[in-house]
Structure 1
Amino acid sequence: MSFSNLNQAVNRALSSILIFFMGAMVVTVVWQVFTRFVTNDPSVFTDELSRYLLIWIGILGGAYTYAVKRHLALELLMPHLSFTKQQVLCIFINLLIVAFSSITFVYGGSAYVLNTLEHQQVSPGLSIAGHQLLIGYVYAVVPIAGLLINYYGVLDISDSFVKILTAKKGSK
């Protein structure tokens, strides 16, 4: 399997997960509104479930937008640089993103997840078959998204290197 096929598979899986979570969130919010206003007996778990789904959608969605290059970017310098310098700037920017993601999302997020799991912090409204949902599992999206961002950043860095090498071969 080539990197392109792997990247497409990861993108497809991530977008499918996001679509599923959005659908699940819509269903839980509709159910919450129905039980609150029609039956006057609001569902207990749907409020927290939709909140946690929104957290996962927001954080994983950030990783996905970075993957498909639809994230917010200031490209004031890019048009004024040569092709090689543009690629060097892309490498530098992606190195900064990977470093930030590694420190905050992967390292910090993992430490926070482990801390909440160690202290058995539970979600008050979500219980499945008598078992409380540990909040650490909700926060696990942070290091997962960090790993995805790092994956996409490394791919972008390698792509920029390939473009530089290809441009140098073509100019000879």
Structure 2
Amino acid sequence: MSVGGIRRAVDRTLDMVVIALMAALVLDVLWQVSTRYLLGAPSSWSEELATFLLIWLTLLAAAVGLRDQAHLGIDYVTSKLQPSGRRRVELFAHGSVAAFCAIVLTYGGSTLAFRTLALDQTSPALGIPMGYVYLALPVGGLAMVWYSVHFLVARLAAPPEASEH
């Protein structure tokens, strides 16, 4: 399978997981509100589940945003630069993102997740091992590293003029 084929598979998988997480979060919050206000007996587990779903959703959707170049950016300074200067700033920014995500999210997050799994720490309401919740850090971090590196390779392979937006 080519790199393009792997990228499309990762893109589709990530999109489907983000959609499923969002749907589950909406249903969970709807259940939480319904039990609280309609039944008068709030669910004991739905708030905790919403928190865990939001953690996973945030980190994976951040990777989708990075892939689609949809993150908020202030381009006042970079718009004043020549194309070669803009290209260098883009390369520096994505290199910094890749390094941060590799060190902090992937390495640090996997250390946290595996140590928490080894300690058998579980969530109070659901009894889910907290290491599975914390695995969102390295999984999201790896996805962001993947997209940052893909962006860097594409920018380095393209002629400098092609990196203009």
TM-score, normalised to structure 2, is 0.88
In structure 2, give the amino acid aligned to 1:72. Answer: L
Q: Report if the CA contact (8 A) 2:25-2:53 is conserved.
A: yes
Partner of 1:69: 69
- The alignment's C-alpha RMSD in Å is 1.9
Alpha-carbon separation, structure 2, partners of 1:133 and 1:20: 19
Give the alignment partner of residue 144 of structure 2, picking from 145, 149, 157: 149
- What is the aligned partner in structure 2 of residue 115 from structure 1? 115
Does the 8 Å CA contact 1:91/1:157 hold for their aligned counterparts? yes
Matching residue's letter, 2:159: I
Give the corresponding residue for 1:53: 53
Aligned residues: 162
- Residue 26 (structure 1) shift: 1.2
Q: Using the alignment, how far apart are the partners of 1:78 and 1:7 within structure 2?
A: 28
Asked if 2 retains the 8 angstrom alpha-carbon contact of 1:88 and 1:160, the reply is no
- What one-letter code is carried by the residue in structure 1 that aligns with 2:48? E
Q: What TM-score comes out, normalization by structure 1 length?
A: 0.84
Q: 1:143 to 1:89 in 2, by over 3 A?
A: same
Task: Check if 1:139 corresponds to 2:134.
Answer: yes
* Amino acid across the alignment from 2:85: K
Aligned pairs for 1:2-41 (under 5 A) are 2-41=2-41
| Structure 1 residue 157: Cα displacement | 0.6
Moved more, 36-45 or 46-55: 36-45
C-alpha deviation, 1:44, in angstroms: 1.8
**Amino acid of the structure 2 residue aligned with 1:19:** I
Match of 1:79 in 2: 79
Are 1:87 and 1:164, in contact at CA under 8 Å, matched by a contact in 2? Answer: no
CA contact (8 A) 1:21 1:57 kept: yes
What is the identity, as a one-letter code, of the residue corresponding to 2:151? D
Q: CA deviation at 1:110?
A: 1.1
Q: Are the aligned partners of 2:63 and 2:140 in contact in 1 as well (CA < 8 Å)?
A: yes
Distance 1:36 1:79 in 2: 50
Shift of 1:165: 7.0
The one-letter code sitting in structure 2 at the alignment partner of 1:157 is: L
Higher strand share: 1
- Point out the structure with max Rg over C-alpha: 1
Deviation at 1:7, TM superposition (A): 2.5
Who is 2:157 aligned against? 162
